[in-house]
A = this chain, B = another copy of it.
């Protein structure tokens, strides 16, 4: 199995001007789940091995896997500037540690570095992979734009929200699967299954994120509980609450949305409205539905140890704590 962390570490960022490359090295060294490259590589393995390892085909997927991880980290870097976020993975964000100009420019260079990795994809597969990668990258930007627009919208429907997270989160996982599989030789039916696995996994993943922000264990969650509530963020929970609320609960929620101090009290109050309306259970049901849809796609793939790992990734997601 390819060690993706090692592959990431092996990229040489000791280049000039240091002011451009150090923030890139800093961002990529800050860890994270490496979910996207893992999905791309595991998809490739699921397609080629059927129990046997075809080293070359997996090896050929590495540049695309790295491109996906670099791209993902680029989006985090620029999103943090746009959202004025000060902390990421327990460390100061780039625009805080350096400055905003550096964050913009190093982010731009990261996006270019993603395409540099892509240029190493086998030539006969490159046109298709590049086109898909561009489609994916466009989806992410569109999703981020919708997400920012939601902040200024009075009402967001659950459909609109799901469409937004599909773009902002899911298409990257979906294309990670599809691109990994395609490079390893997946046929069209398999490509479709890989894509849908990633898409539903992403939706389940984001809804679980929303749930953990309110109901997570502060010891394992890694960030403060209730951050979304304090920021009045449109999440699956808040939108579901509004869609299911009686007039009284609705008024109570609206009132709390206007209160920006008294954070502890606000978190407890909004959570108790969620509890009363059964919001957690409703969202968990949606999340489980998408997890089941992701798992169902695996039946279309060769059954082997890699497919088994894809099953585990989806199942772990439902029970994860952070």
Contact = CB atoms under 8 A, between A and B. Distances in A.
Interface in A126-151: 126-127, 130-131, 133-134, 137-138, 141-142, 144-146, 148-149
Given A78-B108, A81-B104, A148-B101, A115 B141 contact: no
B126 A112 contact: no
A138 to B, nearest CB: 6
A134 to B, nearest CB: 5
Interface extent on A, as a size class? 35 or more
A145 B111 contact: no
A277 to B, nearest CB: 30
B104 A82 contact: yes
A71 to B, nearest CB: 10
B17 A109 contact: no
| Number of copies of chain A assembled together | 2
A54 B118 CA distance: 32
Contacts of A119: 127, 130-131, 134
Contacts of A16: 142
A291 to B, nearest CB: 29
26 contacts: A16-B142, A17-B145, A17-B149, A19-B148, A19-B149, A20-B141, A81-B104, A82-B101, A82-B104, A82-B105, A101-B148, A104-B104, A105-B144, A105-B145, A107-B108, A108-B108, A108-B111, A111-B112, A112-B134, A115-B134, A118-B130, A123-B126, A123-B127, A126-B126, A126-B130, A130-B130
A146 B146 CA distance: 34
Which one of A104, A111, A137, A144 has the highest number of Cβ atoms from chain B below 10 Å of its Cβ?
A104
Interface string A1-45: 000000000000000110110000000000000000000000000
A105 B255 CA distance: 32
A276 interface: no
Nearest to A17: B145
A141 B109 contact: yes
Interface string A85-123: 000000000000000110011011101100110110001
Contacts of A78: 104-105, 108
Contacts of A118: 130
A138 B123 contact: no
Nearest to A143: B17
Nearest to A123: B127
A47 to B, nearest CB: 23
A72 B23 CA distance: 23
Contacts of A115: 115, 130, 133-134, 137
A107 to B, nearest CB: 8
Contacts of A126: 123, 126-127, 130
